[in-house]
Amino acid sequence: MKRVLSGMQPSGQLTLGNYIGALKNYVALQHTHDCYFMAVDLHAITVPQEPAALREQSEAVAALYIAAGIDPSKATVFLQSHVRQHAELGWLLTTLTYMGELERMTQFKDKAAGKESVGAGLFTYPSLMAADILLYNADLVPVGDDQKQHLELTRDLAQRFNQRYGDTFTIPEPYIPQVGARIMSLDDASKKMSKSSANQGSFIAMLDAPDVIRKKISRAVTDSGREVKFDPQNKPEVSNLISIYAQCSNKSIADIEAQYEGQGYGPFKKELAEQVVALLEPIQQRYQDIRKSGELHDILRQGAERASAEAENILRITKERMGFLVL
């Protein structure tokens, strides 16, 4: 089986966009691929984090992986910081990364914009992301549009290392699902739904209570007019809501348009809220069960052990080929 590696930052609550764009695909991939899914807590600290919040969110992300349907007996689930080889290979790859490559990263430019001082970790973390992927010789990496640049750097670093020191790393390919890859903000359909948004009304968190979900959707921005029509160019706001409806209900866009023809936005948004609630409530219940049972730490411990064993093999070969004395 081909190997898949992916992770999410525990820097905020996972959103409906995370579920539709990534978690649903993780669940499907575990049946056909050798999967490694992690909460990338080392990446989270490239910007300041409150320690208790970081700890809680790291556990929450891992628990939501399981609650969404990832089976720890089929996929390896772990925290990035529990596998020390990530940081070590991250440093080795940083020494192979050129300043110009990092300066071109649009995510760094966006996150650093308007700030008087920026931590060096925010600048160099694409090298750590490359280590995350290459440490397991992943064949496929699920990525959104905002991460394509980082995967391109990973491929460049793998090729650079292989040319300099001999074939060591697999050159990873992007895995971009055809549907559900990009859910936009509820208050601005030109922006991706983001868990780090300062506006709580712009996203639906996977753990939002039903009444909170209903309120957020009722307040979601819609286009002028009242026609429930999928037209991303001219009606981006309602088209985003239709996309969410389709993903939550498994109905086609054409069926949704036909169902609400002539009804306007009110009935559509009301039923959309119920579709989202129906999707998330079972996941929320499973999440609560996992957190209460105490099984999460055992899952993460076992996942870290499996990941560490695989990572150590790759790191050892890497260090030997670079000329380190490995005992």
Of the candidates 220, 228, 278, the one whose C-alpha atom is nearest the C-alpha of residue 248 is 278
Bridge-based pairing of strands 3-8 and 34-39 is parallel
- Catalytic residue (choose from 192, 216, 235, 269): 192
Residues 6+ apart with CB under 8 A from 259: 251
Residue 134 CA to residue 264 CA, distance in Å, equals 50
Residues 6+ apart with CB under 8 A from 70: 23, 26, 27, 30, 35, 37, 77
- Catalytic residue (choose from 195, 216, 235, 269): 195
Taking residue 204's Cβ as centre, other Cβ atoms within 10 Å add up to 26
269 three-class SS:
helix
**Tokens describing residue 50:** 């409150």
- Catalytic residue (choose from 2, 24, 74, 111): 111
Residue 233 CA to residue 37 CA, distance in Å, equals 35
Residues 6+ apart with CB under 8 A from 321: 165, 166, 168
Cβ distance 216 to 204 under 8 Å?
yes
Residue 119 CA to residue 187 CA, distance in Å, equals 30
Phi, psi of 225, deg, nearest 5 = 90, -170
192 annotated active-site = yes
Q: For the chain, list the strands marked E by DSSP.
A: 3-8, 34-39, 76-79, 140-142, 173-175
Residue 224 CA to residue 275 CA, distance in Å, equals 24
Residue 266 CA to residue 298 CA, distance in Å, equals 46
295 three-class SS:
helix
* Catalytically annotated residues: 111, 192, 195
